[in-house]
Amino acid sequence: MLRTITLDPPVDLAATLRPAFAGKPDPSAQIAQGEAWVAQRTPEGPATLHLAGDGAFVEAEAWGPGAGWALEHSPGLVGAADEPAAFRPEDTALARLARRHRGIRITSSGLVTEALIRAIVGQKVTGREAKGSYRRMTLAFGEPAPGPTDLTLPPDPAALAASAYTRFHPFGIERKRAEIIIRVAGRATRMEEAAGMGLDDAYTRITAMRGVGPWTAAKVGLTALGDADAVMIGDYHLKNMVAWALAGEPRGDDDRMLELLQPFRPHRGRLTRILKAAGLKAPRYGPRSPIRSIERI
């Protein structure tokens, strides 16, 4: 099954899709410049989606029982409904960055449970820890994806929901995050309904889950719901990056970050993506988040 997606301005597939997945270790996605393979658990069944093109045109092809759903929603996955050209900051330097990274789009995959589980794995741990944990969990709870790839489907929510929290320890996931994953997976149908709601109602639905706070909700908003204004409050690095990039302040807190981002509504999430893509980082000093190991607890 095939379809062609037209995008103006052209999309940068790699920069757009990578934040939605758990990096190179993610067994359910292979993302390169101008091409991506993605395994999905759609409402109609498993699917593998192949995306390739020069950015102005992206060819989508899908396999598996969920191929029709995957193709129907493929424009959302590449940010076709997003409007990066609507972001026109008055600051000259920011305007230049926005033009340079205009290929970055905010995605709306429509797969809320999948996005939630990836985000929960990343709560309060380093990026390296999160990627490793998600990989091990996916290989344990996923199955081979359909189509001509060696991808693994994202973890099966039914299998996650039926597991004890101790089952997650070999993945480096302690009891607190494990129990949040189990709760979310057990209510996967209600979580998926959020994709068809307005943003306010969608956030109300997913944050009603105990353990899903502003950071997790914003991460889902930026990948599954197409919310270009979502801000990841509570992020270890983001508040400092924003304070440094917008005010020259080496450290900030969430209140200061929100104050500095306020003039850029409704593109605050887009701006943070652009700043990160530009490689802007606050000076590296101060305490670093420790890397923990709970695999043998």
Superfamily of domain 112-223: Hypothetical protein; domain 2 (1.10.340.30)
Beta-strand pair 2-6/45-53: unpaired
225-279 pLDDT, tens digit per residue, is 999 999 999 999 999 999 999 999 999 999 999 999 999 999 999 999 999 999 9
CB 213 within 8 A of CB 116: no
In 144-170, which positions are buried (b, 16+ CB within 10 angstroms) versus exposed (e)? ebbbeeebbbbbbbeebeebebebbbe
CB 59 within 8 A of CB 2: yes
Q: Where in the chain is the domain with CATH 1.10.340.30?
A: 112-223
pTM of the model: 0.93
186-218 pLDDT, tens digit per residue, is 999 999 999 999 999 999 999 999 999 999 999
Fold held by 2-80: TATA-Binding Protein (3.30.310)
Q: Where in the chain is the domain with CATH 3.30.310.20?
A: 2-80
Half-sphere exposure of 74 (CA within 13 A, CB side): 32
